[in-house]
Amino acid sequence: MRVLFVASELFPYVKTGGLGDVMAALPRAMRVLGADVRLLLPAYPAVCDAVTLQGEVTALPDLMGGGPARILRAEAPGLPLYLLDQPAYFERPGGPYDQPEDLAHRFAALAWAGAYLGRSGDVAGWRPEVLHGHDWHTGLMPAYVAYGSGPRPATVMTIHNIAFQGRFSSALLNDLWLPSQALTPEGVEFHGDIGFLKAGLRLADRISTVSPTYAREIQVAGGHGLEGLLAHRSGDLHGILNGVDRTVWNPARDPHILSRYDLRHPGRRAPNRPDFQRRMGLQEDAEAPLFAAISRLDPLKGLDLVLDNVDHLVRQGGQLAVLGTGDPHAEGAFRQAAQRHPGRVAVFIGYDEILAHRAFAAADVILVPSRQEPCGLTQLYAQAYGALPLVRRTGGLADTVVGATPATLAADTATGFQFDWANGLALGEAINDALALFRDPATWRQVQRRGMATEFGWEGPARAYLELYATIPPKGD
Nearer to ligand ADP, 126 or 351 (CB): 351
Q: How far is the CB of 456 from ligand ADP (least distance, A)?
A: 12
Task: Estimate the crossing angle of helix 303-315 against helix 424-438, to 10 degrees.
Answer: 50
Number of helices followed by number of strands (H, E) in the chain: 18, 18
Contact letters for ligand ADP, residues 250-289 (x by CB under 6 A) = ----------------------------------------
Contact letters for ligand ADP, residues 151-180 (x by CB under 6 A) = ----------x-------------------
The strand pairing partners of 2, in sequence order, are: 36
Q: Measure the CA–CA gap between 175 and 374, rounded to whole angstroms.
A: 32
Residue 163 CA to chain centroid, in angstroms? 12
Instruction: Give yes or no for residue 401 binding ligand ADP (CB under 6 A).
Output: no
The strand pairing partners of 134, in sequence order, are: 158
Per CB under 6 A, the segment of 258-266, 322-330, 387-395, 457-465 that binds ligand ADP is 322-330
Angstrom CA distances, 226 to 7, 340, 373, 384, stand at 21, 42, 16, 34
Q: How many Cβ atoms are within 10 Å of 349's Cβ, its own excluded?
A: 17
Number of residues near ligand ADP (by CB under 6 A) = 18
User: Binding residue for ligand ADP (CB under 6 A) from 91, 186, 311, 352?
Assistant: 352
User: Binding residue for ligand ADP (CB under 6 A) from 323, 361, 382, 452?
Assistant: 323
Q: Measure the CA–CA gap between 430 and 453, rounded to whole angstroms.
A: 23
Smallest CA-to-CA distance from 351 within 9, 10, 14, 7 is with 14
Smallest CA-to-CA distance from 153 within 132, 130, 173 is with 130
Per CB under 6 A, the segment of 101-109, 137-145, 276-284, 369-377 that binds ligand ADP is 369-377
Instruction: Give yes or no for residue 294 binding ligand ADP (CB under 6 A).
Output: yes
Residue 28 CA to chain centroid, in angstroms? 16
User: Binding residue for ligand ADP (CB under 6 A) from 66, 187, 376, 389?
Assistant: 376
DSSP-derived secondary structure letter, 407: H
Per CB under 6 A, the segment of 111-119, 186-194, 347-355, 432-440 that binds ligand ADP is 347-355
User: Binding residue for ligand ADP (CB under 6 A) from 25, 29, 333, 356?
Assistant: 356
Contact 19, 448 (CB under 8 A): no
Q: How far is the CB of 222 from ligand ADP (least distance, A)?
A: 14
Where in 186-225 is the site for ligand ADP (CB under 6 A)? none
* Cis ω for the linkage preceding 80 (within 30 of 0): no
Where in 1-60 is the site for ligand ADP (CB under 6 A)? 17-18, 21
Smallest CA-to-CA distance from 4 within 31, 12, 63, 21 is with 31
Contact 39, 5 (CB under 8 A): yes
Contact 145, 152 (CB under 8 A): yes
Per CB under 6 A, the segment of 89-97, 122-130, 253-261, 352-360 that binds ligand ADP is 352-360
Nearer to ligand ADP, 55 or 350 (CB): 350
> Which residue lies nearest ligand ADP, judged by its C-beta?
18
Nearer to ligand ADP, 179 or 328 (CB): 328
Instruction: Give yes or no for residue 295 binding ligand ADP (CB under 6 A).
Output: yes
Judged by the rule CB under 6 A, the positions of this chain that interact with ligand ADP are 17-18, 21, 161, 294-296, 323-325, 351-353, 356, 375-378
